[in-house]
Every structure is written in structure tokens, then in C-alpha cells.
Amino acid sequence: MKTIKRLLGGIAMFLAVVMTPKILMASEGAAPAINAGDTAWMLVCAALVFLMTPGLAFFYGGLVRRKNFLSILMQCFMLACVITLQWVLFGYSLSFGPDLKGMIGSLSWAGLHGVGLEPYADYSATIPHQLFMIYQAMFAIITPGLILGAFAERMKFSAFVIFSLLWATFVYDPICHWVWGVGGFLRNSGALDFAGGTVVHINAGVAALVCALVLGKRKGYPSHMSPPNNLPLAVLGAGLLWFGWFGFNGGSALAASGLATNAFVVSHIAAATAGLTWSLLEWKFNSKPTMLGMITGAVAGLVAITPAAGFVGPMDAIWVGAGVSVVCYFFVAIVKAKMGYDDSLDAFGVHGIGGIWGALATGLWASKSVNPAASNGLFYGNPGLFLIQLKAVLVTIVYSFVVSWILLKLVGLVLGLRVSEDEERIGLDLTQHRESGYTLLD
């Protein structure tokens, strides 16, 4: 009888170990424990965020003229290579490394020195430090990719590569540290940005506007512009972006947790609401809803919910999604035409304006019932958070605008920014890469 009891007890212990999420325990006095479930979730999320860059390539590529389709793909894939190396060599250290007076990280983590497989508790106590690093690398890759939507079809490839590298170093990395890095002054002020509304979208959107202003309009804009060369590919790209965004926002919880679930759910709700709202606006003002309008609205909804995903609930996400389509539609359909700038693929109109709305909406609808570690927003009794969010937005706009302008001017002096008129007429696929995405040119 004792033997049977021991056997049953052993089986029970074995099942308890198997059915319980594994914790890879550190030895006494060592780094915090690694949670296998959190690690698996974050590996998947890193891959999802990386998928967004090819998704962006097809989203933007489907919208340009046929003779420039391949150039968009080339630019996005080049960023995946160049920014990865920049991030490993020094970008990660500048963004998240030990703080230097709230302004920038030191270079003590350059070359990933000290960034090992044990957790780094200041950012996440349950996943390897290298996993946090590579997850954040995917954000660093796609952010300058958003900018190219403003200067599509007219920038030299050499200038694009150098500008993107400089921009990642002198604009993205400092703002990333201010908002997310331990010791960053905007983080210390209480600014909330769950997954990159400020760091990614406002930052890139403002830089996109600067690019559109400095490079000037495409030849023939707006009277002789062709429609999208392949709208189905653009829809496919938008779908990949929507899919990858679940890792973008859900992964920013840095754990397989209830907060990740909330971010996943509200992201989907906001995107769906914004896509529907944009279609209704087109139906009202242009008599017909369009596929292009719907995917533009859905992407705007994802942009807006990004800073708020870990702080607002499902019903408030509806307001975030509906509001962003109204403000972005106004800028894309009315302000751009009135002002006359050529934001080719509405990078500023969607990402810049959508990011601003999302950051401010976080200050309106953030709730401690969703995230006890955050502050309540204006509509939950705390007007102070809205003012903090406004400050973070203004700081980001000014810094990104000024430094992006300086970098463009410097690159222009050394390399020249814009292709020649003949090269623009022939198309960037052939003139910059001696390849073509299609057999026939338009």
C-alpha cells in the first residue's frame, strides 16, 4: 500500500511540474528568473513586428507607380539590414543603456557588451535581456521605414541610406531613451507611450513632413499622378501590418499577461472602428467608399491605439479609433491640398497626425482599472496626465522637425537628395537599381 501511495504521489508531482508554466530558475544571488511562457510570447512578438516591415513594403509599394515599386521594397529591406547593425553596434546602447542625465544612454552596451541571456530587471525581469533588445530592434527598423512614404519616387537611394542611418542615431535613439529608457526625462515626467505613439509615429510622421517640404513635389504633382499600381498588393500589405501590430502592441506588455490581452483586444477594436469610420466619411463626402480609404483608416486606427493600448479599455478604444479617422481624413483630404505639400503616401497625415491624436487620447482615456501602474486620464478625473502628454508631443515634434531638417540639409550638401528629372521620369527601379518589378513601365 505504501508503494502505491508513493507511486501516485510521484505521478502527481510529475503532472504538477508538466502542467505548470516552466520557470527557468536562477541560482541564489543571480539574475531574476526567466519565464518560459513570457519568453515564447516575446519571441513570437518580435517576429510579428519584423513582419511589419515587409508588410509596409507591399503597402507602400502597391500605392506608387509601377516604375517605382521595386525601389520601395528595396528601401524597406535595406533598413532591415542597416538599422539592425546600427542597433547592435551602438543604437541599443544609446536608446536603453545606462542613463546620461536623462538625455541619452551611454555606450557601455555598445556591441551588446553586457547584454546577455539573463534578464535585465529594469526592463523585464522574466525574459532574456537579448530578447528585449531584439524586440526593440524591430521597432527601430520600421520607424524610418514609415518616413519613406513622404518622399517616395524621388529620393536618391544613397541619400536615403545615409539619412536613415543618421536619423536613427540622432533622432530615433534619443527620443526612444527620453520616453522608454530608464532615466529618460519624459518617462520620469510621467508621459505614457505603451508601444510607440510618440517614439515611432509622431517622430517618423514629423520627419516625413520635413522630407516632403525639403525635397519638394514630384514632377506632375498633383495633376498628373497615376492611381496605385497594384491596390490588391497594398491591401495585402495593410493586412500584414494589422497582423504584425498584435505583436507591436501586445508584445509591449513584455509578458504573456492580461495586459498583453488588453493591448491585443483594443488594437483590433480601434483598427476596425477607424476603418469603418473612414469608409463612412468617404461615403458621405465622396459618394463612394473605397478600398484604399478603408485600409488607410485601419492603419490610422492602429497608429492611434499604439500609445494607449496598455492604458485604455475596449469601449474607450472605439472613441480612439473613430476620432483618429476624423482628424486624419481632415489632414489627408483637406489640409494637404490646401497647404500644397506632397506627402506622397500620407506618412505625415496618417502616422504623424494619428500618433498625435493617440498620445493625446491616452491623456483623455487612460484608466488605472486597465493598468494600475499608470495614471488616470482627463475623463477619469486627472487633467494633469493630458498636460503631460501634450508636453511629450510638443517636445517630440520640435526635436524631430529641427534635427530631421538639419540632417536632410547635410546629406543634401554631400550627396544630393533628389534624383534628376530624367531619372524621376524613367523611374527609380531602373535608375537606382537596374531592376524592375514589372515587365512594362507606365
pLDDT at position 192, please? Answer: 98
What pLDDT score was predicted for residue 222? 87
Q: Over 60: is that where the pLDDT of 24 sits? A: no
Cell of 348: 505625415
In tens, the pLDDT along 187-246 reads 999 999 999 999 999 999 999 999 999 999 999 998 888 889 999 999 999 999 999 999
Residue listed under C-alpha cell 500618433 = 355
Residue 94 has pLDDT above 80, yes or no: yes
Q: How confident is the model at residue 2 (pLDDT cuts 50, 70, 90)?
A: low
Q: How many CA atoms does the CB half-sphere of 150 hold within 13 Å?
A: 29
DSSP string, 131-168: HHHHHHHHHHHHHHHHHHHHHTTTB-HHHHHHHHHHHI
pLDDT digits (tens, 9 = 90+) for 241-299: 999 999 999 999 999 999 999 999 999 999 999 999 999 999 999 999 999 999 999 99
Q: Is the pLDDT of residue 27 over 70?
A: no
Output the pLDDT for position 248: 98
Residue 176: exposure state from Cβ atoms within 10 A (0-12, 13-18, ≥19): buried
Confidence at residue 40, expressed as pLDDT on a 0 to 100 scale: 98
Query: pLDDT tens digits, residue range 298-353?
Result: 999 999 999 999 999 999 999 999 999 999 999 999 999 999 999 999 999 999 99
Q: For residue 340, give the nearest of 203, 216, 224 by alpha carbon.
A: 216
pLDDT of 110 reads 98
Q: With 50 as the cut, is the pLDDT of residue 7 above it?
A: no
What is the pLDDT averaged over residues 111-134? 97
**pLDDT band with cut points at 50, 70 and 90 for residue 9:** low
Burial of residue 184 (number of CB atoms within 10 Å: 0-12, 13-18, 19+): buried
pLDDT in tens, 416-439: 999 999 999 999 999 999 999 886
Task: Return d(Cα 210, Cα 410) in angstroms, integer.
Answer: 14
**Domains, the chain:** 35-433 (1.10.3430.10)
| Predicted confidence (pLDDT) per residue in 362-416, tens digit | 999 999 999 999 999 999 999 999 999 999 999 999 999 999 999 999 999 999 9
Rounded to whole angstroms, the Cα distance separating 266 from 282 reads 24
The rounded percent of the chain whose pLDDT value lies above 70 is 92
For position 6, what pLDDT does the model report? 55
Cβ pair 241, 299 in contact under 8 A: yes
**C-beta separation of 145 from 79 below 8 A:** yes
Residue type, 64: V
Closest Cα to residue 81, out of 164, 199, 205, 176? 164
Separation between Cα atoms, residue 107 and residue 99, nearest integer Å: 10
Tell me which residue has cell 541599443: 92
Whole-number mean pLDDT of the chain? 93
In the chain, how many H helices and how many E strands?
19, 4
Q: What is the pLDDT of residue 225?
A: 81
Cβ–Cβ < 8 Å for 362, 308? yes
- Measure the N-to-C terminal CA separation of the chain; round to a whole number of Å: 86
What is the C-alpha separation between 256 and 122, in angstroms, rounded?
Answer: 18
Residue 347 main-chain phi, psi, to 5 deg: -65, -40
Q: Is the pLDDT of residue 78 over 60?
A: yes
Rounded to 5 degrees, φ, ψ at 220 are 90, -5
The reported pLDDT for the residue numbered 45 is 98
- How high is the pLDDT of residue 18? 34
155-171: average pLDDT? 98
pLDDT at 11 over 70: no
